[in-house]
Amino acid sequence: MTAAVEVPQDSSDPSPLDKELDRIRQRRTGQTGFFRGTFDDWTLVFGVIAGAVFFGGMMVMSTGLLASDSIIIDQTLSKTPLDTGGECTDRQGEVWINIWASHDEVVAKSNNAPDGSTMLVAALTSTENEVPLIASYEGGWGDIRLELILDEEIPDGMYSLKSTLYLSDSEEPLTEFDNESEFMAILDTLTVLKTKQISVEVHTVKTGNLLDWLLGNRVDSKEAEVIDTEPRSCLTIESMGEWGWVLMGAEWVGGRETAMLLGGNAGVPPWWLALVSLGMSIFFLCVQYPLMHRLYHREADDLLSTSQMRRLIERTIQRVSQDLRFEINFDEMKLQDRPISIDVYLQYTTTGKTIATPIDVRTEITKELLEEFAIFGEMRPLQMKVVCMDTSTSADMTSLGPEFFFSDSGGVPLAEDYSDFFTDISAFGRLDTAAQESIARWFRKHDLVDFGTAIMADEEAIFVRVIYRPVQHFAYFLFKPSYKDLQDDLESHLLADINPHLHGRALMVSARNEKSTLADRAIAGRVEQGDREFSGEAMVAKRGGIAGALLQNPFMGDILSSVEYVAHKNQNRIDRYGYWGLIVFVWIPFMASGVLVGAMLGLVARMPFERVFAACLIGGSAASLTWAYTARGIIEFMERYHAEAVVPVLLILAVAFTWLKIRDNKMRRREELFRDSMAFFAGASET
């Protein structure tokens, strides 16, 4: 736990800390342009262009707008080392049969069959004789698909499977013929279009669901492995585009590994698997990472020291105290500057001109501090304890001096000089009438209900306080103006109406929503609430734009804060192994890894933009290439050693481990965040 830091500082001294803060403010507010010509800006531009080319090209390919039937791309690249499966075959306009295995089924499908009544026949025979062990007959129109289900009585071993596509003169599909005798009866009327013969190896494997696997209750089942030496058919440009969208959807839902295994099992060439994955990675890395960097990153010269942070807080609170007319003893203010939060303990006293409640004071201070934090790029959570040292305040309207007049009390101070007394009463009556009429018009203007209005006056100022509630239905979500917006509007409205009655006195206005809306509460980009024994409320500065919307929602906020916590806990390791460790993290397949998570990890570790970008680009490219060129081998390995049942268990264990780890990091961070703050506030209150 970081000890509370006490840095004596005269709040009226404009230098040297004020000058340093002003220079930082000027530098950061001068960087408001969206495009500044920096490396991350050009990276963002490149990412937008690359995304337009990638997704636009995929759209053109999949819709068949350009050379939809051409196989020139696949055919050309299949002759190069990029395609480890060998040269593909041009089967455009050729009738051909595709055969593959799916556990205990062998599937056959005809392609490019002519329109007409057709029949597809598949028979599994022993290699020693041609007597069919099992056969399937499927009639239809045009291309046909059939499934040959392995019988449990078929012994393990090598078999021959012959599939033949027939064309019939019948004007109706041959859907009624589904056995050998019926097929032999019409065989003389059929014409052979295509025949294909391959080898099939049959194994006995243990099968069952996950529970069966865990309890050892799996049963024996047959499984087929097709041995097809025929080269694969070349993909058309339209087929490549369609597979591109399928692979992108699979990677978005289940990760890079899922997409690669899906495409590898379907015979998609590895170079296309790698290209689709790389296209997605480059787009998201080059677009989202610059936005994340713009939101979170600060140059070394912009990082605030503890003394600068204290001075920034003092200046902000001093400005609020002047607006709300309360007094602060900055010698009693305490600050705890930690890597995971900023904690402030503050005491204040009211004056005769204070019309703000303690809740209003804390809200206004928090709002102004978070706005300053946003300007200075400070994204650590802020926790505050604001204590009013008075037993009663003027805002409670219970301890007002004799110089105040109330529009709603009817009480008047006693005086010996009755002429001054009645003069003041007359002047206040005119002021009260004009103010009440003006406020009534203001309530009608904004469609608000008056829940309490008080007007007070002395020789120096006029005090107006209103409590309102919106009439609008679902006002919590739909009512846009915040209390601050309406307070400023009411002040302008009153100044225009009652200016003749002010006679040089200041107008002090306070407006409060009787039931706060979303706009009133949206002073923070993200709010964390303590629970159970660790109570508190931590707020992060609100940042606008796409980057703020991306990172300050609850889901991304939890991820970012957890990763940041881990980064702070392992700062030495990150500083030592950060670059190479980041490459390995993005490269090696692991739950929640990838270019975006890797970029976030490098960002919170304050690695330079160029190094993080290079590490994620290298790691992401290596991951895409590795998976693309090993996916088919992994599938064949699992099929050969019958490891399919183990894969779901490993995935569930990996997900459970990752979830438990994230949950543990989140709980430890929250515990440290609120526990140490509670101890700090308790110690500050005692002193």
665 pLDDT band (50/70/90 cuts)?
Answer: confident
Cβ-based neighbours of 488, under 8 Å, separated by 6 or more: none
pLDDT value of residue 548: 60
pLDDT value of residue 570: 61
pLDDT over 90 (residue 310): yes
681 pLDDT band (50/70/90 cuts)?
Answer: confident
- Identity of the highest mean pLDDT range in 310-319, 352-361, 391-400, 476-485: 310-319
- 75-118 pLDDT per residue, tens: 888 888 888 777 788 887 788 888 888 778 888 888 888 888 88
CA dihedral 257, 260, 266, 267 (to 10 degrees): -150
pLDDT value of residue 53: 92
CA distance 224 to 639: 10
pLDDT value of residue 425: 55
Give mean pLDDT, residues 486-492. 89
Distance of CA 591 to the CA centre of its chain: 16
pLDDT value of residue 137: 87
pLDDT value of residue 3: 45
- 3-class DSSP state of 173: coil
CATH of 400-521 among 1.10.287, 2.40.10, 3.40.50, 2.60.40: 1.10.287
pLDDT over 90 (residue 344): yes
pLDDT value of residue 211: 54
163 pLDDT band (50/70/90 cuts)?
Answer: very high
Say how many C-beta atoms besides its own lie within 10 A of residue 581's C-beta.
Answer: 18
- Domain positions in the chain are 400-521
413 pLDDT band (50/70/90 cuts)?
Answer: very low
493 pLDDT band (50/70/90 cuts)?
Answer: very high
Give mean pLDDT, residues 208-219. 59
Q: Is 398 exposed, middle or buried (0-12, 13-18, 19+ CB in 10 A)?
A: exposed
- SS in 3 state form for 294-331? HHHCCCHHHCCCHHHHHHHHHHHHHHHHHHHCEEECHH
pLDDT value of residue 1: 43
pLDDT value of residue 418: 43
- 39-71 pLDDT per residue, tens: 888 888 898 999 999 999 999 988 878 777 788
Give mean pLDDT, residues 620-629. 83
CA distance 265 to 252: 18
Q: In this structure, is the dihedral angle defined by the CA atoms of residues 167, 168, 169 and 173, taken in order, positive or negative?
A: negative
316 pLDDT band (50/70/90 cuts)?
Answer: very high
Give mean pLDDT, residues 661-682. 81
pLDDT over 60 (residue 157): yes
pLDDT over 50 (residue 9): no
CA distance 42 to 46: 6
Which of 209, 218, 516, 466 lies closest to 356 in space, CA to CA? 466
Angle between helices 39-62 and 609-640 in degrees, nearest 10 = 40
Give mean pLDDT, residues 128-147. 84
The DSSP 8-state label assigned to residue 150 in this structure reads P
Which of 482, 562, 575 lies closest to 526 in space, CA to CA? 562
Cβ-based neighbours of 557, under 8 Å, separated by 6 or more: 526, 540, 551
Helix (H) or strand (E) holding 343: strand 342-350
H helices, E strands: number in the chain: 20, 17
- Identity of the highest mean pLDDT range in 618-622, 632-636, 682-686: 618-622
pLDDT over 50 (residue 551): yes
Provide the mean pLDDT of the chain.
77
Say how many C-beta atoms besides its own lie within 10 A of residue 650's C-beta.
Answer: 10
pLDDT value of residue 553: 62
- 560-602 pLDDT per residue, tens: 676 667 666 666 666 677 788 888 878 875 544 567 777 777 7
pLDDT value of residue 356: 75
CA distance 441 to 435: 10
Q: In this structure, is the dihedral angle defined by the CA atoms of residues 552, 554, 556 and 558, taken in order, positive or negative?
A: positive
